[in-house]
Amino acid sequence: MLQKPRIQLLKSFTNNHICTEILRLDEMHPVISGNKWYKLKYYLEDAIQQGATEIASFGGAYSNHLVALALASKHAGLGVTGFIRGEAGPIASPTLVAAMDYGMKLVYLTREQYQNKEAIEIQYQATGRYFVAEGGYGALGVQGAASILDGFNWESYTHMVCSVGSGTMAAGFLSRLAPHQQLIGISSQKNNASLKNAVLHFSPSEKHPQFELVEDFHFGGFAKHPPELLAYMRALWERESLPTDIVYTSKLCFAVEQLIAANRFVTGSKLLVIHSGGLQGNHSLNKDMLPF
């Protein structure tokens, strides 16, 4: 079902001092693209092993996680329920329409209800229903994210740079990092004081100095996409034929360029940027906003 991802040289991110390449997870599958499939695969296995007949999880109206879960559950022959943050609007988002197409049942929660997911899990506990945490955060999600690195020569890089939402993917990379490598996470959120620890939680303390969380590139907050971000996305497409999403990967690439310009990386650095997918989220924009 999934293609092996390719690695693309980013010429305009490369100079005499450093070389930058990007792992194109976005090309693997139009819906289950990016990190979501990896984060979910061990949960699905675990659910099946436990005899579950249905998966349930949480997310917002534009959640890449929920739409990937919907399709992955369908392929696995499992029923699926999505608990959605916020009341149902007059029209469902393209993400939720797709999720429903794949068979996901939706339950809308108020913001207050959404705060207390444990209560929801208890209320909706049913025989055969298996809950996956929001964003796939948890040990099995981290293990699955780490498997993104299987099968290619990731140890040849000095730095890996990825975006950070729940922190699951970054935690997976940190758990695998070799001693000579650094992981830089670019936060997609504004002011989330617990995010760094969410990443560090799954690795022994000796590894913690190898991780840095950069929080200056949220462009106003989670999922905010001001005109200057969209202009950057168009320019990046022109320069590198690289499509990015408005929530994570555009901010990631922007941050990498800024860090390079600020001489954050010593001469000889070799960067691997992770394109974690998410392009389906761009459907929330008007059609003529982006050239890809």
What span, in angstroms and rounded, lies between the C-alpha atoms of 151 and 147? 9
* 31 or 110: CB nearest ligand PLP: 31
Residue from the set 84, 120, 169, 272 that interacts with ligand PLP by CB under 6 A: 169
Report yes or no: 26 and 282 within 8 Å, Cβ to Cβ: no
What span, in angstroms and rounded, lies between the C-alpha atoms of 149 and 153? 8
* 53 or 147: CB nearest ligand PLP: 147
What span, in angstroms and rounded, lies between the C-alpha atoms of 34 and 264? 26
What span, in angstroms and rounded, lies between the C-alpha atoms of 155 and 176? 10
* 27 or 245: CB nearest ligand PLP: 245
Q: Is residue 277 near ligand PLP by the rule CB under 6 A?
A: yes
What span, in angstroms and rounded, lies between the C-alpha atoms of 56 and 128? 10
What span, in angstroms and rounded, lies between the C-alpha atoms of 206 and 84? 38
Q: Is residue 166 near ligand PLP by the rule CB under 6 A?
A: yes
Q: Measured from the CB of residue 167, what is the shortest distance to ligand PLP in angstroms?
A: 5
* 52 or 142: CB nearest ligand PLP: 142
Altogether, the residues listed in the chain come to a count of: 292
Instruction: Reduce the DSSP state of residue 257 to 3 states and report it.
Output: helix
DSSP character for 91? S
Q: Is residue 144 near ligand PLP by the rule CB under 6 A?
A: no
Q: Is residue 64 near ligand PLP by the rule CB under 6 A?
A: yes
CB atoms within 10 A of CB 175: 18
Report yes or no: 174 and 207 within 8 Å, Cβ to Cβ: yes
* 53 or 182: CB nearest ligand PLP: 182
Q: Which of 266, 278, 291, 248 is nearest to 37 (CA)?
A: 278
Single out the segment in contact with ligand PLP by CB under 6 A; choices: 1-9, 153-161, 262-270, 276-284: 276-284
DSSP character for 12? G
Pick out residues in 33-62 that bind ligand PLP (CB under 6 A): 34-36
Residue from the set 60, 82, 135, 144 that interacts with ligand PLP by CB under 6 A: 135
Q: Measured from the CB of residue 268, what is the shortest distance to ligand PLP in angstroms?
A: 28
Q: Measured from the CB of residue 132, what is the shortest distance to ligand PLP in angstroms?
A: 12
* 5 or 165: CB nearest ligand PLP: 165
Q: Is residue 249 near ligand PLP by the rule CB under 6 A?
A: yes
DSSP character for 58? E
Q: Which of 137, 188, 143 is nearest to 163 (CA)?
A: 188
Pick out residues in 75-94 that bind ligand PLP (CB under 6 A): none
Residue from the set 55, 80, 278, 282 that interacts with ligand PLP by CB under 6 A: 278
* 259 or 278: CB nearest ligand PLP: 278
Single out the segment in contact with ligand PLP by CB under 6 A; choices: 10-18, 119-127, 218-226, 243-251: 243-251
Size of the site for ligand PLP (CB under 6 A): 20
What span, in angstroms and rounded, lies between the C-alpha atoms of 171 and 141? 9
- Element spanning 99, H or E: helix 94-101
* 82 or 277: CB nearest ligand PLP: 277
Enumerate binding residues for ligand PLP (CB under 6 A). 34-36, 64-65, 135, 163-170, 245, 248-249, 276-278
